[in-house]
Amino acid sequence: MGWVLDLKNSSDEDIIAGIPLVTGIDLLAQYAYLGLGFSLAVACDDPATEYSTQTGLGTTSHLYAVTES
């Protein structure tokens, strides 16, 4: 079992719901049409790990927001 992510606006309405936190991809690539201005990526300390574990998010796996500079 892995983590999923929901993005909401300031009115607590879903923008995107249920994005699985998979490593090695831009999690928001398929939502480029929304023009969010950033991407999200998950990286795990163990390269063999495809998903963040239930207890590992923030310790052995990390969610990064990536913006252009």
The 10s digit of each residue's pLDDT in 5-60 is: 999 999 999 999 999 988 889 999 999 999 999 999 988 887 766 666 666 677 77
Q: What local confidence, expressed as pLDDT, does residue 51 receive?
A: 61
Q: And the tokens for 1?
A: 């079992």
Number of domains in the chain: 1
Q: What local confidence, expressed as pLDDT, does residue 44 receive?
A: 81
Domain extent for 57: 4-66
Query: Is the pTM for the entire model greater than 0.85?
Result: no
Q: Which residue has the higher pLDDT, 1 or 60?
A: 60
Q: 64: which residues sit within 8 A by CB, 6+ positions away?
A: 40, 41, 42, 43
Q: What local confidence, expressed as pLDDT, does residue 53 receive?
A: 63
